[in-house]
């Protein structure tokens, strides 16, 4: 075995397992591991072994990390995804999102920039008619916005009818409805279907900055790293249409705090938007025009 050879071949009195050991762990995969699993896990094992050697990681430190991972699993359920939150504060979801987006860009004209999904999307969001208000009980400090736009084919510029725009946002208290017993089920979320001109419209809240949950391991890690928990004001969107690649993204208020300091590293220049004054609308004093450009599936 490589590990046994590694230890016995040391001449300086140390027993750290070296590259032979790592090679042995990687080579222990059987012939039925898929090529992609083999590629990803070989790379992962190589990097975590090199990381442990480089940092001289101790058993106590590794045990603390395992406890945090277990804690994340224990507090996760269908309303909370603490493992994803841990990845988010380490920038991993944003990095993977950027890698995936770059691959999509290689095949066609620029589509709307993507951003991370985050842990608060719900699969069972109801479809609402265009022009509906997703804020079922607008808080006193909330400002309603008329949000509207077109979904188009990035290549031709043609409108895409029957596309779905799935929107969700936090309330002004910084909580998504599933985190807050005082909000109605599915408050501040809705799916909208574009009309024959590719247009959608809805009323929502002007988003406000909020702190990500800090009562679990992600919050503990932020504190250990002397970092804050805040996200800049944003609205989440997923755009989907038959024959097109779906886009998950977020749009950020250009006047928000934390644009340069997002706790989950999700802000991209192309996703920063301006809210304009809206006149003669008894429902909303602000307006946001936002078009989405989708690329065809190849």
> Strands 286-289, 144-153: parallel, antiparallel or unpaired by DSSP?
parallel
Question: At 199, phi and psi to the nearest 5?
Answer: -100, 145
Minimum distance of ligand BEZ from residue 120's CB (angstroms): 4
Minimum distance of ligand BEZ from residue 138's CB (angstroms): 20
In the complex with ligand BEZ, which residue's Cβ is closer, 120 or 275?
120
SS3 content of the chain, % helix, strand, coil (to 5): 30, 20, 50
Q: Which residue has the tokens 């932020």?
A: 222
In the complex with ligand BEZ, which residue's Cβ is closer, 85 or 134?
85
Minimum distance of ligand BEZ from residue 115's CB (angstroms): 9
CA 157 to the chain's CA centroid = 27
In the complex with ligand BEZ, which residue's Cβ is closer, 6 or 82?
82
Instruction: Say how many C-beta atoms besides its own lie within 10 A of residue 77's C-beta.
Output: 8
Minimum distance of ligand BEZ from residue 223's CB (angstroms): 16
In the complex with ligand BEZ, which residue's Cβ is closer, 116 or 284?
116
Measured from each CB, the residue nearest to ligand BEZ is: 118
Chain residues binding ligand BEZ by CB under 6 A are 85, 88, 116, 118-120, 212, 231, 264
Q: How far is CA 39 from CA 18, 35, 48, 96, in A?
A: 20, 6, 15, 16
- Spatial distance between the Cα atoms of 126 and 122, rounded to a whole number of angstroms: 10
In the complex with ligand BEZ, which residue's Cβ is closer, 135 or 152?
135
Minimum distance of ligand BEZ from residue 228's CB (angstroms): 13
């Amino acid at each position: 075995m490589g590990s046994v050879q590694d230890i016995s071949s040391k001449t300086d009195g140390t027993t750290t397992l070296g590259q032979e050991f790592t090679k042995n762990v990687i080579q222990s995969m059987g012939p039925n591991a898929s090529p992609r699993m083999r590629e990803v896990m070989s790379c992962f094992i190589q990097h975590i072994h090199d990381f442990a050697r480089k940092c001289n990681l101790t058993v106590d430190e590794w045990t603390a990390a395992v406890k945090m991972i277990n804690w994340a699993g224990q507090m996760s359920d269908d309303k909370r995804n603490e493992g994803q939150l841990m990845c988010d504060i380490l920038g991993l979801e944003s990095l993977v999102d950027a890698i995936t987006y770059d691959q999509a860009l290689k095949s066609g004209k620029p589509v709307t920039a993507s951003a991370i999904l985050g842990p608060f999307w719900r699969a069972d969001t109801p479809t609402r008619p265009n022009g509906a208000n997703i804020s079922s009980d607008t808080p006193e400090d909330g400002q309603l916005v008329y949000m509207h736009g077109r979904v188009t084919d990035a290549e031709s510029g043609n409108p895409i009818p029957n596309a779905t725009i799935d929107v969700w946002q936090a309330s002004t208290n910084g909580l998504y409805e599933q985190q807050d017993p005082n909000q109605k089920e599915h408050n501040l979320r809705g799916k909208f279907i574009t009309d024959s001109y590719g247009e959608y419209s809805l009323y929502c809240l002007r988003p406000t900055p909020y702190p990500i949950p800090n009562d679990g391991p992600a919050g503990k890690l932020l504190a250990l790293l002397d970092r804050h928990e805040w996200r800049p004001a944003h609205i989440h969107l997923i755009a989907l249409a038959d024959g097109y690649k779906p886009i998950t993204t977020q749009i950020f208020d250009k006047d928000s705090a934390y644009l340069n300091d997002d706790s989950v590293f999700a802000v991209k220049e192309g996703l920063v938007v301006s809210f304009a004054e809206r006149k003669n609308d008894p429902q909303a004093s602000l307006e946001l025009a936002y078009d989405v450009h989708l690329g065809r599936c190849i």
